[in-house]
Amino acid sequence: MNAMDPTTLVWLGPALVFVIALVFSMLRLGGAMLYVPVFKWLELPLKTVAIPLGLLLNGATSLSAFLRYWREGLVDFRDALPAPMLTARACLRVVGEKHVCISWSGYER
């Protein structure tokens, strides 16, 4: 496989990430499902760079959307907080020395 021109990487990578972030934030989705393949196409190491960077960008997109909705008064904390708290409680149960996360289907990891 031929190596990609460094100039292409410098301009094409950020442009693709920006477009993906723009579109997926409007759809209220993350974008990591497209970031990772794009980073792999740009020949970045999958496990050490592409996946962590995709998750980081996904979190940054979600945080920026949350802050905007919060400033506009569209976040209802009273109704939204019980779900993550119940999920965290279910995931942090300790059985012996093994951490167990029980999904709603009853599958244990």
Q: Are residues 95 and 67 in the same domain?
A: no
Q: What is the pLDDT of residue 98?
A: 58
- Least confident range of 4-13, 39-48, 75-84, 85-94: 85-94
Q: Are residues 71 and 46 in the same domain?
A: yes
Phi, psi of 20 (to 5 degrees): -60, -45
Residue 1 belongs to some domain of the structure: no
Q: Are residues 105 and 60 in the same domain?
A: no
Q: Are residues 53 and 87 in the same domain?
A: no
Q: Are residues 53 and 93 in the same domain?
A: no
Tracing tokens 């996360």 back to the chain, one arrives at 101
Q: Are residues 52 and 92 in the same domain?
A: no
Residue 49 lies in domain: 6-75
- Which residues, other chains included, contact 93 with Cβ-Cβ below 8 Å and sequence gap of 6+? 99, 100, 102
Record the pTM: 0.60
Q: Are residues 64 and 101 in the same domain?
A: no
Confidence of residue 72 (pLDDT cuts 50, 70, 90): very high
